Structure 1
């Protein structure tokens, strides 16, 4: 679990000004807090943190002398500016279930026997902090002839400690046969036409 340094934010300073000064605004909320904690995080630290983490990742937030066990609840990212605009954290409390997401990670996609259609990239669920699953992996090298992977196929999520919000029958990935062969056929036809023309 990675530690992220943050500072309490002065709410009289607008977010736009904070960003100009090299900070990413953020907030920490949770039932055990009297009120949400407004944060500011060095843009360098925020980018370094998000390169290794994502929505649903656990972290230790170091705010001054105080440490908080938290989870990344949401990240507002501007793809045009290629900048993190805001990060929301939620306090983790033992024995208190929270709503969060497991990110889907595809492995060895080049070994898939056909065209891969990823229908969902994250799975929503509720769990106690001790049972959080940050990532689930689909390894195409191990799928064999399987053409469809559903949420219920992910063993880590199918237990009484995980309360699924995403339907267990939801399709994560579909593998469609034929697309790679169509491309080969078109190439062969093009070569035949070139030979005939010569």
Structure 2
């Protein structure tokens, strides 16, 4: 079973709470370009459905960022959720480099 999620680059100056009201979840992708990271927005319904199928720091998923034409494998490193509502507030992804020996 292949798991994937489609993301977009987060617009400059966008406020996280405004994004959440629009049905989007802010996120970050680390490790795809050395020490640089990219801020993302993810569809909230897709993210919640994905989180039902994965384990944090264990399941490798395919991440597609349409705005910068980037696709790669990543782990969900951290899920920030509201303490009692359990709504997802932020997702952090960590890029997994291709470790196959040539």
Tell which structure's C-alpha radius of gyration is larger: 1
Q: Which has the higher strand share?
A: 2
Partner deviation per Cα, 1:118-137 (whole Å, 9 max, x = no partner)? xxxxxxxxxxxx7xxxxxxx
Shift of 1:85: 0.6
Equivalent position of 1:14 in the other structure: 15
Structure 2 length-normalised TM: 0.84
The question of whether the paired residues in 2 share the 8 Å contact of 1:11 and 1:38 is answered with: no
Aligned alpha-carbon RMSD (Å) = 1.7
CA distance in 1, matches of 2:53, 2:25: 17
> What is the 5 A alignment of 1:118-197?
none
Equivalent position of 1:66 in the other structure: 70
Partner deviation per Cα, 1:102-129 (whole Å, 9 max, x = no partner)? xxxxxxxxxxxxxxxxxxxxxxxxxxxx
- Give SS of 1:69's match: strand
Q: Does 1:84 align with 2:88?
A: yes
Shift of 1:79: 4.1
- Give SS of 1:81's match: coil
Report which structure shows greater RCO (CA 8 Å, sep ≥6): 2
Structure 1 length-normalised TM: 0.45
Equivalent position of 1:38 in the other structure: 39
The runs of 5 or more residues in structure 1 that have no matched partner are 96-129, 131-198
CA distance in 1, matches of 2:71, 2:34: 13
CA distance in 1, matches of 2:24, 2:93: 16
CA distance in 2, matches of 1:6, 1:19: 14
The runs of 5 or more residues in structure 2 that have no matched partner are none
CA distance in 1, matches of 2:12, 2:55: 26
- Give SS of 1:52's match: coil
Shift of 1:33: 4.1
Partner deviation per Cα, 1:159-186 (whole Å, 9 max, x = no partner)? xxxxxxxxxxxxxxxxxxxxxxxxxxxx
The question of whether the paired residues in 2 share the 8 Å contact of 1:30 and 1:36 is answered with: yes
